[in-house]
Amino acid sequence: MSKNMTSNTGSLFSKLQKTTSSMGLIMTAAIWGFAFVIVKDSLAHIGAVWMVAFRFTIAAVLLALCCVKKFSKLTATYWKHGAATGFFLCSGYITQTIGCNYTSAGKNAFLTTIYVILIPLFCWPLYKKRPHSYVFIAALLSVTGIGLLALDNADGSLFTMNKGDMLTLVCGVFYALHIISTAHCNRKDDPLLLTVLQFAFTSAFSWLCAPIIDGPLPVQGLCTPQVVLSMLYLGMFSTLVGFVLQNVCLKYVPPALASLFLSLESVFGVLFSTLLLQEHLTLRMIAGCVLIFCAIVLAEVVPNIKR
C-alpha cells in the first residue's frame, strides 16, 4: 500500500510540475508579447539602440549578481562564445527594435517568428542534417503569410514591403543564428554563465552603437517616469525573468508542447497591440498571421510529436 501511495504521490507531483511549467511557458510568451507594446510605446521617447542597451545592462547586472560564485569558471573560451552569441543576440534585438519604429507592434511580433522556420534550414548545411519535409511546407506557408501580412500596395503600385517589416525579417535571421550558436556553445559551457556573458556583450555592443545610430544619450527621455518603468520591465521581466523562466520550465515540459506555448508570443503580441495600441488588423493581415502561426506549429511542434 505504501509503495502505491508513494508512486501515486510521485505521479501527482510530476503532473503538478508539468502543469506549473506549462503555465510558466505561457506566462513567458505573454511577458514577451506584452514587451512589443512597451517597445512601441517607448520609441517616442528613447532611441531603439539605447533601449536595447539599457534593458540588457539591467538584465546583465542582475543576473551577474546571482552568479558571482560561478565567475571562477570563466575561461578565454567562455569570453569568445559570449562575444559571438552576444553579437547575434544584439544584432537581433537592434534590428527588431528599430523595425518596430517603422511597423506595427503586431506585425513586428509575428514577423519575428520567422526564426523558427530558419533554424532547421540553417542547420542543414552546417550539420549536414536535412530538415523534415514538414519544414519545407512550413516555409511555404510562412512566406505566404509574410506576403499577406507585410506586403502593401495601398498606393496602387506593385507590392512593396516597408522598412520596418524588412528589418524585422532580418532580426529573425539573427535570432536563428543566435539560437544555433548558443545551442552549440551550451554543449560544453555552463548555460547560466553563457547567458550572463551574452547579456553583457549585448549591452556593451549596444552602448558602442547607440551614439552612432541614435545620437547622444537621451537624458530628457530617461527622466520620464514612463521610460524608466518601461526599461525596468524590459530589463527585469522581458529579458531576465523571461529567459530564466523559459530555461527552468523547459526542463519539465515536452519539446512539442513547449514550442507551442512559446510560439504564443506572437499571438499575445498582436492581442496586446490591438487592445492597448488600437492597432487595426485587416482580414488579409489576420490570414497572414494565421498562416505564419500554422507554419510555426508545423515546423516546430509536429516533428517533435512524431519523434
Cell 529579458 belongs to 239
Tens digit of each residue's pLDDT (9 = 90 or more) over 103-160: 888 888 888 888 888 888 888 888 787 877 777 888 888 888 888 877 764 444 445 6
Grid coordinates standing for 145?
503569410
Q: Residue 214 gets which letter from DSSP?
A: T
Report how far apart, in Å, the C-alpha atoms of 182 and of each of 100, 203, 295 are.
Answer: 25, 17, 23
**Are the C-beta atoms of residues 135 and 117 closer than 8 Å to each other?**
yes
- In this prediction the pTM is 0.84
Per-residue b or e along 250-271, where b marks 16 or more CB atoms closer than 10 Å to that residue's CB: bebbeebbbbbbbbbbbbbbbb
Looking at residue 37, its pLDDT comes to 92
Q: How many CA atoms lie within 13 A of 86 on its CB side?
A: 25
Q: Which helix (H) or strand (E) holds 152?
A: strand 151-152
The answer to whether residue 198 scores a pLDDT higher than 70 is yes
Mean pLDDT along residues 197-218: 94
Rounded CA-CA distance 121/118 in Å is: 5
> Which three-class secondary structure state does DSSP give residue 164?
helix
DSSP 217: -
Cell numbers at residue 73, please?
569558471
What is residue 4's predicted lDDT score, i.e. its pLDDT?
57
Q: For position 158, what pLDDT does the model report?
A: 46
Query: Model confidence over 18-69: pLDDT tens digits?
Result: 788 888 888 998 999 999 999 998 998 899 999 999 999 999 999 999 888 8
User: Mean pLDDT throughout 6-17?
Assistant: 67
- Residue 83's closest CA among 204, 234, 176, 164? 204
The arithmetic mean of pLDDT across residues 219-229, rounded, is 86
